[in-house]
Structure 1
Amino acid sequence: MTMKKTVIQSAVAGVLALAMTHGVAQTQQSQGGKEREKCYGIAKAGQNDCGTSSHTCAGKAKKDNSPDDWKYVAKGTCEKVGGKTR
């Protein structure tokens, strides 16, 4: 395989991966036709929805109710359950 072909295949794979993750994020933000929002400070250990400055992925929260970790909740309910929308 030539170097040019390898670079092109890598670029295409990167674009596809980015498109797939964007689709997942959009699905999580409006699930079941209801708007959702990020709610910080309510995620239990290992149950956060995405990365923060201290880790890179969902499910990596180390302690309950960390102010940096968040979960998606129905829009307008975050503060009712004790969280913050930032």
Structure 2
Amino acid sequence: MNVKKSTAITCAMTGLLALGAQMVAAPAMAAEEKEKCYGVVKAGKNDCATKTASCAGTAKMDAQGDAFVVVPKGLCEKLAGGSLQPK
């Protein structure tokens, strides 16, 4: 194998590895920038299961204390009725 071909393959592999690392790191960073906000969702608009509802989108009433929606970090406590802990 000649030097140019070997260098090209090495560069391509390095680029793919770097891209893979970014794809793994990006969701992890995005998750760190979000938080669960309880008590602010409209009926049927929650993001996950609650004590009284088995899956997302099944909150029975507006501002249900154990239903949450995922919001950008720092926003929840600014919302009327928002709480970082279930009510």
TM over 0.5: yes
Count of matched residue positions in the alignment of Structure 1 and Structure 2: 57
Unaligned runs of 5+ in 1: 1-26
Matched, 1:53 2:16: no
Tell me the secondary structure at the aligned position of residue 30 of structure 1: helix
Distance across 2 between alignment mates of 1:67 and 1:61: 10
Q: Give me the TM-score of the superposition, normalised by structure 2.
A: 0.59
| Cα distance in 2 between the residues matched to 1:66 and 1:59 | 12
Residue of structure 2 in register with 1:43 after alignment: 41
Max radius of gyration: which structure? Answer: 2
Q: What is the match of residue 74 of structure 1?
A: 72
In the superposition, the TM-score normalised over structure 1's length comes to: 0.60
Displacement of 1:47: 0.3
Q: Structure 1 counterpart of 2:75, which letter? A: T
Share of identical aligned residues, percent?
47
CA deviation profile, 1:22-50 (whole Å, cap 9, x unmatched):
xxxxx6x926xx71100000010010000
Asked whether the equivalents of residues 53 and 60 of structure 2 are also in contact (C-alpha less than 8 Å), the reply is: no
CA RMSD of the aligned region, Å?
A: 1.9
**Runs (4+) of structure 1 moved beyond 2 Å?**
none
Matched, 1:30 2:36: no
Report SS of the residue matched to 2:33. Answer: strand
Shift of 1:53: 1.0
